[in-house]
């Protein structure tokens, strides 16, 4: 409370605790801000005398929600809101002013924390958006680069391969057995480079969102096996595709590529001690989608390599030089593009089982199959 001249005449217990002083009527009103540690809303600027709440009340009759900081040396600063009213007799004579202060320190701290969190969230959202745009540009550039590289490098490699073949045929006797061996090694190198370029091009073209349609998994699998007919026949392999495989929502072109890679690996890494057998199957995944499995009885993948084989350039035995480490990475990318997961596990009795999930759209239509893979 203050008298009509603005001199402080009473504090309650809480005010005394906050200021560390009692009301002192001897202080000139111009000294109140400094004596009682009153700062502006920024918590730094000393409060001018004419903005001290009790003085404003005497001038303006009524104030509400003024925010100041009480910061006496050696005490924890408090942020308070002040409301007050002038006291007058019935004939209008001023008796003084009463000001009530409410501690909002914790409330403002929460508000500031919330604002900071919103700012951080906005910054991270923008950062993710920027990264998404950058990733999209990178994927586009990767696909363009792979296409250009494949086209521009294939022609000179074909020329090199052709001349090496001619060298072996025309001058094979002249260069001797050692020379013919060198030519054959060079031809294998050219063939390996061509295969590597084709694999990289295939990997780059599995990005993006793609199309989804209802396709017959059995038909897609049979077309994938048909693409591998020469390799399957050469290996004497048996590839089973049941007639009762479901229809699934997918990108049928990519699904065909995925199954071709998996079945091709099963044939490629067959166990020489037994006839190669591969089976494609599907079962509900418990989440409204399908889990497709490609099961073989081949050489298998050691347990410690079953996760990393889906990484780019990962190989179980690099010294064997039987692949480029891109095929399963392409498979992983195709499955991820469909929103699914892929994993490898051991086949009971020996071999590898690769399982991948295909999440499905809700309310799957029972209508006709549309647009399956081109032959």
Per-10-residue mean pLDDT, the chain, length 375: 94 91 92 92 92 93 93 89 94 94 93 92 91 81 70 79 89 89 86 70 59 89 91 94 93 87 93 95 92 94 84 55 64 88 93 93 42 39
pLDDT of residue 374: 40
What six digits make up the tokens of 341? 């997961």
Asked whether this chain's domains 13-103 and 213-358 adopt the same fold, the reply is no
Q: What is residue 203's predicted lDDT score, i.e. its pLDDT?
A: 62
Closest CA to 99 of 31, 53, 68, 50: 53
Return the pLDDT at 138.
77
Domain boundaries, the chain: 13-103, 131-205, 213-358
The neighbouring-strand residues paired with 79 are: 69
- Burial track 6-42 (b if 16+ CB lie within 10 A, e otherwise): bbbeebeeebeebbeeebeeeeebeebbeebbbbeee
pLDDT for 334 equals 87
Residue carrying the six token digits 């019935």: 90
CATH, range 13-103: 3.30.450
Question: Yes or no: is domain 213-358 CATH 3.40.50.720?
Answer: no
Q: What are phi and psi of 34, to 5 degrees?
A: -70, -40
């Amino acid at each position: 409370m203050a008298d009509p001249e603005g001199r402080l005449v009473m504090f309650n217990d809480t005010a005394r605790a906050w200021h560390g002083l009692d009301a002192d009527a001897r202080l000139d009103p111009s000294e109140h801000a400094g004596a009682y540690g009153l700062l502006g809303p920024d918590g730094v600027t000393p409060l001018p005398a004419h903005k001290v709440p009790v003085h404003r009340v005497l001038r303006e009759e009524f104030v509400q929600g003024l925010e100041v900081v009480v910061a006496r040396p050696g005490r924890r600063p408090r942020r308070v809101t002040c409301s007050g009213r002038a006291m007058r007799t019935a004939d209008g004579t001023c008796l003084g002013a009463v000001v009530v202060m409410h501690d909002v320190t914790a409330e403002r701290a929460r508000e500031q924390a919330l604002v900071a969190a919103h700012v951080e969230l906005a910054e991270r959202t923008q950062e993710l958006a920027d990264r998404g745009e950058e990733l999209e540009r990178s994927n586009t550039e990767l696909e363009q680069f792979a296409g250009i590289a494949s086209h521009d490098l294939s022609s000179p490699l074909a020329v090199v391969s052709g001349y090496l073949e001619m060298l072996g045929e025309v001058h094979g006797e002249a260069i001797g057995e050692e020379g013919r061996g060198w030519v054959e090694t060079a031809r294998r190198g050219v063939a390996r480079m061509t295969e590597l370029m084709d694999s990289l091009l295939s990997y780059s073209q599995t990005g993006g969102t793609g199309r989804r349609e209802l396709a017959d998994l059995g038909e897609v699998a049979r077309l994938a096996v048909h693409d591998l007919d020469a390799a399957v026949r050469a290996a004497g392999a048996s590839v089973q595709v049941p007639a009762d495989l479901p229809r699934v929502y997918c990108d049928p072109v990519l699904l065909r590529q995925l199954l071709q890679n998996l079945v091709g690996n099963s044939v490629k890494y067959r166990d020489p001690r037994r006839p190669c057998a591969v089976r494609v199957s599907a079962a509900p995944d418990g989440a409204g989608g399908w889990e497709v499995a490609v099961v073989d009885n081949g050489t298998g993948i050691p347990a410690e390599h079953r996760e990393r084989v889906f990484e780019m350039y990962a190989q179980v035995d690099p010294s064997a030089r039987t692949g480029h480490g891109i095929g399963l990475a392409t498979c992983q990318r195709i499955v991820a593009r469909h929103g699914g997961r892929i994993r490898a596990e051991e086949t009971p009795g020996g071999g590898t089982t690769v399982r991948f999930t295909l999440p499905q759209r809700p309310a799957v239509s029972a209508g006709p199959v549309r647009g399956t893979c081109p032959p």
